[in-house]
Structure 1
């Protein structure tokens, strides 16, 4: 399940297969709790999509679900909180108490490791055959979703890109910066950030800790490149090495351009700083696209979007997906939900609202917005790596340790050497 660069269809499949996530056990691809009969009258869907474009996407998906499965009652188990931190804590409590929801949202990839190891989710491989998903999803995506035991444990609803810079062209123009400028690397970008800071403008908006980890991963990708960044997750890149030190120095510089109220904000609020002209740039995944669309903004005139400097030609990948928990009280309802999640109709409705792109290859992208069409083309042609901050690259426990270390560093509770040491320790296991 761990991502690797894609430079061609054949190379991608081989590379991804070599980095797939180790998972314990399996049940031959047949969901134990999803047998015939029982539990089909309702489905509790547990997510962190409680507000904004995320809720809009969920609502759109529910609309399709109710059309496809009118006899199954949808029960919204959404829990508010940026990047799902509160939801994940509550979910773990419920799973440990053997009180699972019927299905829950999780990022596809290494984030599923802990649930698989704890025998808390079941294989849904048989559903891929039943719903025709093996043919509908790109082969390299299927490889990313397949564990070393040959089983698949979730159905993705979308594909997101993490390494995106969003800007306010008017703020840039007002401060003598070309809004159409391209940046070869972080140093070139930071030269313009210096100009903005000198003018008293907030150059770069961020929010609470997870958004800072999101920024960190894009800096690591920009400075280390595809091979070096991917090596952080397979052990071939030394977290204690000088290349990582240099990247962390760039991260420290970038944090120096950010808003001082960052720890009290969630990502929609930091995004809004850019939309409202109170900040020039922000780095956020392409779920941010929906924020602009909702407010009637036009790509090119009201905002721009481009890969984080130094990452052009790279697609920093993550995907929201849904699982089948062991002991789900309404397994047939969960199966019905997974069918809608994977369907062309469900993916079209959901992704138009959320700003992401469908995981399926047979959805007509001509009806999507300009940004989403460009993202879909990039996903076909760019090198693909797995997101750190959004569960594709590392298990939950590792991400938690990285987030804690990042929070300490950005709040001034540790120095750069200590930060690097803690990152190395977090990835030592």
Structure 2
């Protein structure tokens, strides 16, 4: 880090301490006594996440290590609830918020997912915290634009993930007579090779339970509609009942028929493992999957391949994990200490190194990041950016819930016309 950046880092750290001093600490009854500053902050903070296993837990553990170094007098309380994409955790959290029992902070996807919490008055506006700490200078504008809701910011991002990634096992491709070096300009070209793999007796495309199917579905929409058409799904300029969406649904139907039959009994790590073990050729999953390959000693370009979903090259399907300050948090000072660690270059480097994502803070040191992560850093800087549906950036929770129900229903019935009707009805109910 150069001298100017070191000076800026010192200013940010100082700002965090001043803010925490202003917030004060809590006594044993949970009341603000105004007596502590950031360096002396004490007490505990319950951090509510769905990072309970695998690379997600490894990332959280690394972040907690930095937090313990920065705030040794604050006890970290792990409130993790297991469940793919946070579905179980979100249900538990909703119950706690409704009964006025919020954790110190909770994980949420940055973007539209926060809308319901904001409208329900359940999370605090952090805009002033950004101003006081200089974070507007540390997060790229493309990210800040996606964090804002009506000109305010309500969460602190810990990372940036890419959703539109294909993971492939080159040995399975070769065995099926498919060139591992092949590139695909469209879904049609990719489907032709998937059908070759099916004929050779391997699983062409692995998926898992409902949310992973929504994940695949959003990448099909992005591939067939393009970035502008995909964005139009959320601002009303693309018709969910129209012919373009109908054509995308037909491609989704074709892909769905090329997936594993046991999908409903699996979660994403299981579907990814099918590719790692050579039981499946391809998997579409966000780039948190890279940690699963690397943890098992697999090398990019040799043991596995990773590239944008066919038809989406040049587009970065964005999501970010972030943390909030709930209204009524037991001790806002300890929560704000946690948020300061999440935002810090040190916290972001440690966390993202383990999780497979890339830092949101541009001052984080990425020199030791792996080959895949370096490609993601380059892509985020240069590609068109769209917001992920399955991971909370594109649509509020209520809309995502309706789409997930439609995807799950289609998986059971195979009724493509009914699928599009359900999606159009969901848009009519939820579009603002």
Same-fold call, TM cutoff 0.5: yes
1:140-175, Cα deviation, whole Å (9 max, x unpaired): 211211111x21100000000000000001111111
For 1:182, the equivalent position in structure 2 comes to 183
Using the size of structure 1 for normalisation, the TM-score is 0.91
Determine if contact 2:25/2:334 at 8 Å carries over to the other structure: no
- Write the distance in 2 (CA, Å) between the matches of 1:348 and 1:358: 7
CA-CA distance at 1:371 after TM superposition: 0.5
Determine if contact 2:25/2:331 at 8 Å carries over to the other structure: no
CA-CA distance at 1:210 after TM superposition: 0.1
For 2:36, the equivalent position in structure 1 comes to none
How many residues are aligned here? 396
SS in structure 1 of the partner of residue 180 of structure 2: coil
CA-CA distance at 1:132 after TM superposition: 2.1
Match of 1:119 among 100, 121, 132: 121
- Write the distance in 1 (CA, Å) between the matches of 2:422 and 2:96: 30
Stretch moving more, 265-274 or 365-374:
365-374
- Write the distance in 1 (CA, Å) between the matches of 2:60 and 2:129: 22
1:249-274, Cα deviation, whole Å (9 max, x unpaired): 00000000100000010000000000
Residue correspondence of structure 1 range 345-424 to structure 2 within 5 A: 345-412=346-413, 415-424=415-424
- Write the distance in 2 (CA, Å) between the matches of 1:35 and 1:338: 13
CA-CA distance at 1:131 after TM superposition: 2.5
Residue correspondence of structure 1 range 115-264 to structure 2 within 5 A: 115-148=117-150, 150-264=151-265
Residue correspondence of structure 1 range 29-108 to structure 2 within 5 A: 35-38=23-26, 40-108=42-110
- Write the distance in 2 (CA, Å) between the matches of 1:256 and 1:345: 45
The gaps in structure 2 that reach 5 residues or longer are 1-18, 31-41
- Write the distance in 2 (CA, Å) between the matches of 1:140 and 1:175: 41
CA-CA distance at 1:218 after TM superposition: 0.1
For 2:39, the equivalent position in structure 1 comes to none
1:285-308, Cα deviation, whole Å (9 max, x unpaired): 000000011111100000000000
CA-CA distance at 1:361 after TM superposition: 1.2
Determine if contact 2:345/2:365 at 8 Å carries over to the other structure: no
1:199-235, Cα deviation, whole Å (9 max, x unpaired): 1110000000000000000000000001100000000
SS in structure 2 of the partner of residue 229 of structure 1: helix
- Write the distance in 2 (CA, Å) between the matches of 1:364 and 1:333: 26
For 2:287, the equivalent position in structure 1 comes to 286
Determine if contact 2:82/2:88 at 8 Å carries over to the other structure: yes
For 2:325, the equivalent position in structure 1 comes to 324
CA-CA distance at 1:176 after TM superposition: 1.1
1:4-50, Cα deviation, whole Å (9 max, x unpaired): xxxxxxxxxxxxxxxxxxxxxxxxxxx99x83232541000000000
For 1:299, the equivalent position in structure 2 comes to 300
1:334-371, Cα deviation, whole Å (9 max, x unpaired): 00100000000000000000000000112232211111
CA-CA distance at 1:125 after TM superposition: 1.3
CA-CA distance at 1:130 after TM superposition: 2.7
- Write the distance in 1 (CA, Å) between the matches of 2:134 and 2:421: 46
SS in structure 2 of the partner of residue 75 of structure 1: strand
- Write the distance in 2 (CA, Å) between the matches of 1:78 and 1:35: 26
SS in structure 1 of the partner of residue 106 of structure 2: strand
- Write the distance in 2 (CA, Å) between the matches of 1:233 and 1:289: 29
The gaps in structure 1 that reach 5 residues or longer are 1-30
For 1:22, the equivalent position in structure 2 comes to none
The structure, 1 or 2, with the larger RCO (C-alpha pairs under 8 Å, 6+ apart) is 1
- Write the distance in 2 (CA, Å) between the matches of 1:266 and 1:75: 26
- Write the distance in 2 (CA, Å) between the matches of 1:83 and 1:90: 14
Larger of the two Rg values belongs to structure: 2
For 1:18, the equivalent position in structure 2 comes to none
- Write the distance in 2 (CA, Å) between the matches of 1:48 and 1:108: 15
